[in-house]
Amino acid sequence: MELQYLIVYLEILLMCIIFLSVMHVNISRDLGSEWEVVTFTWIIRALLIAVIVDGFCQAHYRHVIVLPRLLLSFLYSTYMSILSGVMPFAWLVFAELHIKPSLMQHRKVLFIALIPVILIILVSYSSMFTGLFYTIDDTLTYHRGPYWAAQNIIAYVYFMITTLHALAEMTKAKSPIRKKELLIIASFIIAPFGGGLLQLFIGSHPFVAPSITIAVFFIFINFQGNMINHDALTGINNRKMADHYLDELIHRINFINFYVFMIDVDKFKSINDTYGHIVGDECLKLTAETLRNIADEHHGFTGRYGGDEFICIIDEQYLKKPETFMERCNDVLAIRCKTNKLPSIIRCSFGYAKCTNSNTKATTLIAEADKMLYENKNSI
């Protein structure tokens, strides 16, 4: 019976390893920015280690193998450090990079978020001798320690922070695409929370690692799918999505007049040549985030059209004067450049076209907006 149970347990863990390995092999820049890819890779690798460690611990628990006490304690400490510390922290960073990228640029915020992780790791490994999180008795059997619940609470606090932040941002977001993205992040907590409750009452069954693996796989599938229509660097819509959205607006049944803005970052080549491509990428990301935030205020659409060129589309009913949108974008960009301590102030040139009937071609609108854009750009 013990052997049969272990086989089922290991089969579940093997499925987790397969899912995690598939994600690790197929992860790409399409998932998001460089840091988003890095943190998601941390999550996958941490889970892989935790699942493998769990397999060895269960094999010992079911008397299939016998591990030395010190090694067994080390494995339990590693398992707790990963699932309650490293993995929740990596998820927090990954989620916040999607929710509000500028927040993760503050070192103080990262340091504060890292403190509980360091404490969990220290207490987990010291529990080999203190028994705070767990104890191993003379028969080499695992028992929960007096502060076992603390590391679980901290882990779920990380998950809850990202969920609440994503839900809060959803109330502000005007774009359906942005709302869907935030809802996906907010829903991550469901599987780990359910798995944690089951593990609490049925401690001998594999619930936590598989439930987190399911949540991570859900995020991976959804974000990879979403990123087909998103720009990897900035996280906003790409040109393919912009062309599709523009075509839909022109041919919608209840036609409404709308503006198409073409936006270009002034002297971007000079920024790249002077400060390097890393600063150049930061400028593009900051520009994209600023444009999206302001366009969202007007229930608008934002996309990266190519290079340092962006597109915003806003219905006339939400924007009476296009000049106010353009001025506000540059004003906010100037403030945010100083706040984020960028070495150069970003300024954009704008051109726009107004669509007043459903017979207009998308290419005509883009060409008209582009013409105004380059006239304004050449006048600088």
Annotate 24-40 with b (16+ C-beta within 10 A) or e (fewer): eeebeebbbbeebbebb
CA–CA–CA angle 174, 180, 185 (5° rounding): 120
**Same-domain check for residues 245 and 224:** no
CA–CA gap between residue 316 and residue 354 (Å, rounded): 9
Cα 91 to its chain centre, rounded Å, is 8
**Same-domain check for residues 191 and 219:** yes
pLDDT at 231: 83
Give a yes or no: residue 118 inside a domain.
Answer: yes
Residue that terminates a domain, selected from 167, 198, 228: 228
CA–CA gap between residue 101 and residue 216 (Å, rounded): 20
CA–CA gap between residue 51 and residue 16 (Å, rounded): 7
Give a yes or no: residue 233 inside a domain.
Answer: no
**Same-domain check for residues 44 and 114:** yes
CA–CA gap between residue 245 and residue 49 (Å, rounded): 43
Q: Are 275 and 343 in contact (CB under 8 A)?
A: yes
- Angle between helices 34-61 and 69-81 in degrees, nearest 10: 150
Backbone angles phi, psi at 254, to 5 degrees: -95, 85
Residue that terminates a domain, selected from 170, 196, 228: 228
Give a yes or no: residue 264 inside a domain.
Answer: yes
Cα 179 to its chain centre, rounded Å, is 13
CA–CA gap between residue 260 and residue 321 (Å, rounded): 13
Averaged over successive runs of 10 residues, the pLDDT of the chain (380 residues) comes to 72 90 78 76 93 89 87 94 93 88 74 94 96 92 91 92 94 76 91 82 71 91 75 85 89 85 92 83 90 91 93 93 94 89 86 92 94 85
Give a yes or no: residue 155 inside a domain.
Answer: yes
Give a yes or no: residue 343 inside a domain.
Answer: yes
**Same-domain check for residues 243 and 176:** no
Give a yes or no: residue 234 inside a domain.
Answer: no
Q: CATH no. for residue 83?
A: 1.20.1070.10
pLDDT at 31: 62
pTM, whole model, 2 decimals? 0.66
Give a yes or no: residue 83 inside a domain.
Answer: yes
Range of the domain at 12: 2-228
User: Total domain count for the chain?
Assistant: 2
CA–CA gap between residue 169 and residue 292 (Å, rounded): 13
Backbone angles phi, psi at 134, to 5 degrees: -165, 165
**Same-domain check for residues 62 and 98:** yes
Residue that terminates a domain, selected from 178, 201, 228: 228
**Same-domain check for residues 220 and 266:** no
Cα 312 to its chain centre, rounded Å, is 23
Annotate 64-78 with b (16+ C-beta within 10 A) or e (fewer): eeebeeeebbebbbb
Give a yes or no: residue 21 inside a domain.
Answer: yes
**Same-domain check for residues 178 and 325:** no
**Same-domain check for residues 203 and 314:** no
**Same-domain check for residues 367 and 257:** yes
**Same-domain check for residues 273 and 176:** no
pLDDT at 82: 93
Q: CATH no. for residue 326?
A: 3.30.70.270
**Same-domain check for residues 109 and 188:** yes
Start-to-end C-alpha separation, the chain: 80
CA–CA gap between residue 293 and residue 296 (Å, rounded): 5
Closest CA to 309 of 290, 287, 292: 287
**Same-domain check for residues 29 and 170:** yes
